[in-house]
Structure 1
Amino acid sequence: MKKSVYRSFPFLILLLGMRIYVFSQNQVRVEAENQHITVFLNRAQIDAKVRATVLTGTSKLIISNVASTIDPNSIQVGGKGDVVIMGVKFKHNYLGNKKRNVLEDSIRITRTEVETLDMLVKVADNERNMLMANASIKNEKDGVTPEDLKEMLDFFRTKLTEIGTRQMQLARQSKEANDKLARLQSQLNSQGGNLNQPAGEIELTVSAKANSTLEINLSYVAHAAGWSPIYDIRAKDVRSDIALAYRANVFQNTGIDWKNVRLTLSTSNPSEGGTKPEVLAQYVSVYEPRPIVARGRGDYNGTLDGKALYSSPAPPEAKMEESIVSTADFVNTIQTTLAVNFDISVPYTVISGGNPEMVDIQNFNLPATYKYYAVPKYDKDAFLTAIITDWEKYNLLPGIANIYFEGTFVGTSNIGNSDTKDSLLISLGRDKKIITKRETIAEYKSRRNIGSNVRESFGYRITLRNTKSEPITIVVEDQIPISQDSRIEVEAEDIQGAEYNKETGKLIWRLTLQPLDNKELILKYNVKYPKGKNIQGL
């Protein structure tokens, strides 16, 4: 008997130890409160606050409302509280997708409502069928008096009216429930993979000597977020400054909604990396092709007798009124060494997986010079352009610009900072009131044999007409062919004062046309080449 007690004693201690362990591991679930989000061109840094109370001993804080696209190596934890942080771990919770759970719960409840209504409709139909099955009236020989008949008619009328009213109500409720179910299902289907995205959680292990209240600062970088620039360019007329609205399309698919957060847009792109490339030794050698091995007993997948002949690399992983105030009036621009940050003081909400949120960054009035450009060789229309100098100081990124001129949308153009020119040229569209024409001078065009060579002469007449009521400045462009063969000679005979770039063959005339003025330009050149040769490019 004593022996049996003695053997159970260690087991009792083990149980006590397990109980102590269980009660010393406190698990607290809290939700991160996202406060400030720095959105890069690709990725976003999320700064959040977490408040929690932990008991004495070791506790695990399960922090939800965390991006599921987090970079685990970027997690930083700090804050106030008399605790020791023992570990930080990120994990996915495949049951914690609140959006999907809410939608699925709504679908489940609505589907139950539809099934209940369908059952009640069948009950009402059966009641009506049973009532009508017993509606036959017998004659007086069977003991039915007029009084009985009146009583029965009143009964049937009352019951049929009651059943009919109930059927109409049920039909209306059933239609509403089915419409709601269809909308919920469509919403679930439209979200696609967004609702299949697992929830993100950060597990924080802390040790406290006493009960403590914590205020934790949480920061991390998340993928599947960013912003892209978009511009609105408005020109009232050719005597006014350019009004440029600098905006951002902010998008995110991090698995959590950014609700009423302060945004900072950064021109930095973390995906490009910040490490300079290293120049390694560049070796040269004589290329000696290997002999081609005939296929023998091998298959057709690059193997011979079971040995690989080559290995394939692994595939890569996969018009606004002036009185209206916009968020651009609440943006503080901060120039850092490597980037520009636009700090927006107005809170924004950006839904995960939703449409991009348009954010106004800045509004500029840019002094501009207006010129017309024409290339009659390719297009008979003249194009109005605005030329902006010192444009690089406005921190413009490459992007699409919507162009408005004289209150009308004229199209889109590209704008950016990748051009090394001192000025930025913005096309404002076609102007049908500037008429251009390029035609061949037939009497000049000729082909003659000179010894062993052929000499061809080409002549073109370019005519311009300004039908506008004000003078214009126009740049006309054309070209002369360039020879890449010493046997072919190209000679410019008459370019009528044009700027001639012999390396590119480009010709430029800079003209001023008065109202209703006409101008004629002549272009002549000769090409000499050996007889019997077909010359391309003429």
Structure 2
Amino acid sequence: MNIQSKIQSVTVFKNRALVERSAQKELKKGDHKIVFENLPLGIDPDSIQVNGSNNVVLQDVKLKNVYPKSTADKERKELENEKQRLDELIAEIEDNMANLNGQKNFLQNMAATASESQKKSIFVLMPPEKLMANLDFYRKSLDKTDTQIRKLSKEKAELQKSLKIVINEQKRFNNKGLKEMRQVELSLFVEEACSIDLKLSYIIFNASWKPVYDLRASSTEKKMNVSYNAVVSQNTGEKWEDVYLKLSTAQAHLSATQPELSPWFIDFYAEPQFDMMLEKADRKRSKKKNARMLSAKAEMSVEAMEISEPMLRPEAIVETGATSVVFAIPGKNTISDNGEEHKVGISAFEFKADYQYNSVPKMSPFAFLTAKVKNTSDFPMLAGKSNVFLDNNFVTSSQIPLVAPNEEFKTSLGIDEGIKIEHKLINKFHKDEGLFSKKAKVSYEFKIIIKNNKITDENIVVEDQIPISQNNEIKVELIEPKYKDDSETLKITESKFLKWEIKLKAKEEYIIPIKFHVEYPRDESIVGL
């Protein structure tokens, strides 16, 4: 017997979903066959689980591919009835429009006749006031008729649109033919008459979710509000209507079994023996032939795959890893099976934020505000898109990496024009080193000017560089700033990047001088300066 089931809950993974259905039925003592029908094709056969009442014994489970003709015939009949209804309405409107057009022609002829008669015997056949009254009557009647014709034309156009949709749906339905579905057949033995509560669960593909974040920062308060959302979509062939939704960060496609090493052999190279290779190839072909014969004998019909499952509730496995969490979405949700994206809220956090400005004046004359935030929640923040807002103004869209609990991450908050930065070339000087020297020297002098126009003290990291010599005869000497070892204010990397960490007071102007020499053989040309 067929049983009506409803999807109660869905747990969505990154590339699949676990669907849980429930059904209730009054059954007498004895053997019964129960069918869960109209299931989608994307079910993973190995994932089917059936649970139920304690006084019911599950004897067998079968997964079948079927073509529900009754459902197809019903849909086709509904389309035919709808097309017939629309055709009749359009025909009725066309009849009414034909009648109104005839009435309009009659009124126009009457008006023309009255006017022509009056010309032949003016003021004799009809007084002027009566003529005007008649003409006014004809005009009002024509206006009323035209209004009715326009109204019917609009109604006809709307009906024709609906008819076109129905015809296209009929074509799509006919091209698609019978819709292939799956059903699960259960063989049960009921020990005593009772009302049973059956639970059917299965994994299905073509479902996924991805995180998306709204990051809202305040320039006056050192905090960031994070809205943790999810975008869920599915194209499984079944609609999830009013279901309890869960989102899992578990990697469902990865094997839980630890891989094992095989011995790693090495040996001297030996020339291949062609006679032995031919003999091995013959043996391989023979094995493949035997394997195909065994496979043909053992092949299972797709129409009836048998899956034996015990009538026991599976124990829940709770994964406490940093990237494996299940989010239970409050309330019920409806997710259509058309691939449309649905946004649902997971949680909201408020984190402390440390703000820092970064600038590379040589490349861009702006200060870029960056927030460093620590994830103090109990949840991992999966890698995903983030929409960044500063003082309720949209700044940019970026990506957040995977952030485990108690881990820090950085996000850019865009340009802050409250800090002005200027990179100036003060001097460039070329000279030859004396009359007898074969050396030439180029001197560069720059100045970086930073002005904090804000009313608060700010931290800024400024980066610049000096050239790196790739030839022993080219010497680069840094004159300013004076540098011996890395300090809290200035650090120089192996790539000769100069990095200043500066604490700017409100309204303060800070000047960084940069000066260096490049010495090289006089008769050589330098590339890169």
Deviations 1:8-61 (A, max 9, x none): xxxxxxxxxxxxxxxxxxxx1223321121111221111221234567776543
Kindly report which structure 2 residues correspond to 1:20-99, keeping only aligned pairs within 5 A, or say none.
Answer: 28-53=1-26, 59-64=32-37, 66-80=39-53, 82-95=55-68
Kindly report which structure 2 residues correspond to 1:24-423, keeping only aligned pairs within 5 A, or say none.
Answer: 28-53=1-26, 59-64=32-37, 66-80=39-53, 82-95=55-68, 107-120=79-92, 171=153, 173-182=155-164, 198-206=180-188, 213-279=195-261, 336-337=320-321, 339-389=324-374, 394-417=379-402, 423=408
Which residue of structure 1 lines up, in the alignment, with residue 490 of structure 2? 499
Q: What amino acid does structure 2 have at the position aligned with 1:38?
A: T
In 2, the alpha carbon distance for the partners of 1:446 and 1:286 equals 64
* Partner SS state of residue 402, structure 2: coil
Does structure 2 retain, via aligned residues, the 8 Å contact 1:60–1:204?
A: yes
C-alpha distance 204-96 of structure 1, shift in aligned 2 (>3 A): farther
How many residue pairs get aligned? The number is: 444
| Aligned-pair CA distance for 1:201 | 2.5
| Aligned-pair CA distance for 1:72 | 1.2
Deviations 1:207-264 (A, max 9, x none): 5577765322211111111211111111232324111111111111111111111122
The alignment yields a C-alpha RMSD, in angstroms, of 4.7
Does structure 2 retain, via aligned residues, the 8 Å contact 1:117–1:170?
A: no
Q: Which consecutive residues of structure 1, in runs of 5 or more, have no partner in the other structure?
A: 1-27, 138-159, 289-333
C-alpha distance 380-112 of structure 1, shift in aligned 2 (>3 A): same
C-alpha distance 50-452 of structure 1, shift in aligned 2 (>3 A): farther
Does structure 2 retain, via aligned residues, the 8 Å contact 1:30–1:61?
A: yes
Q: With structure 2 as the length reference, what TM-score do the two structures score?
A: 0.69
Deviations 1:345-401 (A, max 9, x none): 311111112522211111111111112111112211111121113558541111111
In 1, the alpha carbon distance for the partners of 2:517 and 2:171 equals 68
In 1, the alpha carbon distance for the partners of 2:179 and 2:417 equals 53
Q: What amino acid does structure 2 have at the position aligned with 1:252?
A: Q
Which residue of structure 2 lines up, in the alignment, with residue 510 of structure 1? 501
Deviations 1:159-194 (A, max 9, x none): x9xx99997886555333223334567899999x99
In 1, the alpha carbon distance for the partners of 2:423 and 2:431 equals 18
Q: What amino acid does structure 2 have at the position aligned with 1:267?
A: T
Which residue of structure 1 lines up, in the alignment, with residue 464 of structure 2? 478
The answer to whether the aligner puts 1:463 opposite 2:410 as a matched pair is no
In 2, the alpha carbon distance for the partners of 1:385 and 1:113 equals 64
Deviations 1:278-304 (A, max 9, x none): 55566789999xxxxxxxxxxxxxxxx
C-alpha distance 33-420 of structure 1, shift in aligned 2 (>3 A): closer
C-alpha distance 126-512 of structure 1, shift in aligned 2 (>3 A): closer
* Partner SS state of residue 36, structure 1: strand
Q: What amino acid does structure 2 have at the position aligned with 1:480?
A: I
In 2, the alpha carbon distance for the partners of 1:436 and 1:190 equals 63
Deviations 1:294-348 (A, max 9, x none): xxxxxxxxxxxxxxxxxxxxxxxxxxxxxxxxxxxxxxxx872461121223111
Does structure 2 retain, via aligned residues, the 8 Å contact 1:455–1:527?
A: yes
C-alpha distance 419-86 of structure 1, shift in aligned 2 (>3 A): closer
Does structure 1 retain, via aligned residues, the 8 Å contact 2:366–2:420?
A: yes
In 2, the alpha carbon distance for the partners of 1:195 and 1:381 equals 62
Does structure 1 retain, via aligned residues, the 8 Å contact 2:388–2:397?
A: yes
Does structure 2 retain, via aligned residues, the 8 Å contact 1:229–1:249?
A: yes
C-alpha distance 209-246 of structure 1, shift in aligned 2 (>3 A): closer
Q: Which consecutive residues of structure 2, in runs of 5 or more, have no partner in the other structure?
A: 111-141, 271-317, 484-488
In 2, the alpha carbon distance for the partners of 1:419 and 1:458 equals 46
In 2, the alpha carbon distance for the partners of 1:38 and 1:362 equals 17
C-alpha distance 423-164 of structure 1, shift in aligned 2 (>3 A): closer
Does structure 2 retain, via aligned residues, the 8 Å contact 1:117–1:173?
A: no
In 2, the alpha carbon distance for the partners of 1:227 and 1:62 equals 31
In 2, the alpha carbon distance for the partners of 1:365 and 1:105 equals 57
In 1, the alpha carbon distance for the partners of 2:179 and 2:157 equals 32
C-alpha distance 401-463 of structure 1, shift in aligned 2 (>3 A): same
- Matched-pair identity in %: 28
Does structure 1 retain, via aligned residues, the 8 Å contact 2:381–2:403?
A: no
Deviates more, 1:432-441 or 1:379-388: 432-441
| Aligned-pair CA distance for 1:431 | 1.0
C-alpha distance 164-422 of structure 1, shift in aligned 2 (>3 A): closer
C-alpha distance 133-247 of structure 1, shift in aligned 2 (>3 A): closer
In 2, the alpha carbon distance for the partners of 1:478 and 1:199 equals 65
* Partner SS state of residue 90, structure 1: strand
| Aligned-pair CA distance for 1:522 | 1.8
| Aligned-pair CA distance for 1:75 | 0.8
C-alpha distance 458-165 of structure 1, shift in aligned 2 (>3 A): closer
Which residue of structure 2 lines up, in the alignment, with residue 520 of structure 1? 511
Which residue of structure 2 lines up, in the alignment, with residue 8 of structure 1? none
C-alpha distance 350-446 of structure 1, shift in aligned 2 (>3 A): farther
